[in-house]
Amino acid sequence: MSRITLTRFLIERQRDKQLINADLRLLIETVARACKAISHAVTKGSIAGNLGSAGTDNVQGEVQKKLDVLSNEILLEANEWGGNLAALASEEMEDPHPIPTHYPKGEYLLLFDPLDGSSNIDVNVSVGTIFSVLRCPKTETGGFCEPDEKAFLQPGTLQVAAGFAVYGPTTMLVLTVGDGTHAFTLDREMGSFILTRPDIRIPGDTQEFAINMSNMRHWEPPVKRYIDECLAGKTGVREKDFNMRWIASMVADVYRILTRGGVFMYPSDARNKSGRLRLMYEANPMSFIVEQAGGAATDGRTRLLEVKPEGLHQRIAVILGSKNEVDRITAYHKA
C-alpha cells in the first residue's frame, strides 16, 4: 500500500489544489520536524534529564517545566532561518520574537504553545504542541508591516493553517490548511508523519463531555444548566446517560473529540471572567481544526474564530466539539 507522507500531502495541496504556496509548505514541514524533536525529548523523559521544573515562571505566571523551555527553544531554532516567517510568538514569551537580521524574512507569522498540558508531564499523561499560522499584514505601499504585537492581532478566520501534535502512546500530528482536518501518525523508524486519518468528521451528537468539575461552584448559569442536564442522564430532559472525561491536557481532550465526538468546555466563571485558555495559542487553532472537521467552537456567545483579539496573551472561554451540543450550549447562553 502506498503511504501518504506529510510531504506528499503538502505537495498535493500546493501543486494540485493550489491551497498553499511553497513557503507555507516549508513552514508546516519545519514545524512538524520540530514536533518530532519535541516528541523525542518527551519520550526520553528522565533518561535525558528532561522532567521537572525549570525553576522559572512564564509570562502567564505559571511555573515552567524543563520541557516547556526546551520545546520553545526547539521551535524557535527550527523556524528562525527558513526565510518564510516575519516573526514568531510563543505562549512562553512575553513579546513577539523577531527573525534575526542575518536571516531572510517571509510573509508568515507563526504562533505556538510549545508544550500544552505541561502540568501533566511528570505524571506521564499526553501533552502536545499547538500552532497557528497567519499572514503578516501589508502596508499601504504593499510591503510587510512591522511584525509587532499588533500584526498578530487578527481574528482566527484569517488563519491560513493550524495544527497540533499530541505526544501520546503514538505521536499524532493534526493539521488543517482549510480543506478539512487530517491526522498523521509518526513512524519513528522512518522519521515521517504518515497520513492515517484523512478527512476527520466529528459526529454532530455526543454523550460525552469534558470539563473541570472542581470549578462547578464558580460557573455561570448556562454552563451549570447544561452540565446538570447531562448529569441527570436518562431520567432528565436529555433522556440519555452521559459520560465524563477530563484529561486536563487540551490536545488529548480535543484529539478524543476528533475521534469519537464530545464537547470540551473551559468556560469563563465567577473567578476567571475572561476564561482560562489562550485565544491566540489554543482557542483559535483548535477552533479552526474543529470547524474544519464539522464541529463548532464558541465562547458561549460568539464564534471563537470571529473574536477580534486585543492582546497576544488574551484569555477566553472555550466551548468546542460536536456541533449540536455546542449549538445547544450557545442557545442556553442566549436564553
119 contributes a contact to ligand F6P by CB under 6 A? yes
Minimum Å gap between C-beta 184 and ligand F6P is 21
212 contributes a contact to ligand F6P by CB under 6 A? yes
Minimum Å gap between C-beta 245 and ligand F6P is 12
Give the Cα separation of 296 and 316 in Å (integer): 16
- Cβ proximity to ligand F6P, 124 vs 212, nearer residue: 212
What is the secondary structure of 268-331 as a DSSP string?
Answer: -BSS-TT-SEEIIIIIHHHHHHHHHTT-EEESSSSBGGG-----TT-EE-EEEESHHHHHHHHH
Grid cell listed for 92: 512562553
Are 275 and 243 in contact, with CB atoms under 8 Å apart?
no
Query: Which segment (114-122, 163-171, 223-231, 307-315) binds ligand F6P by CB under 6 A?
Result: 114-122
- Cβ proximity to ligand F6P, 170 vs 212, nearer residue: 212
Q: Which residue is nearest to ligand F6P (CB)?
A: 250
Residue 93 CB neighbour total at 10 angstroms: 16
Minimum Å gap between C-beta 116 and ligand F6P is 5
249 contributes a contact to ligand F6P by CB under 6 A? yes
- Cβ proximity to ligand F6P, 63 vs 248, nearer residue: 248
- Contact partners, residue 126, CB within 8 Å, separation at least 6: 117, 120, 166, 167, 168, 169, 247, 249, 251, 252, 255
Dihedrals phi, psi of 97, to nearest 5 degrees: -100, 110
Query: Which segment (39-47, 115-123, 283-291, 327-335) binds ligand F6P by CB under 6 A?
Result: 115-123
Grid cell listed for 285: 487553532
Amino acid in the structure at residue 143? G
Minimum Å gap between C-beta 156 and ligand F6P is 17
- Cβ proximity to ligand F6P, 246 vs 332, nearer residue: 246
Amino acid in the structure at residue 157? T
Minimum Å gap between C-beta 79 and ligand F6P is 22
The binding site for ligand F6P (CB under 6 A) comprises: 116-117, 119, 212, 248-250, 266, 277
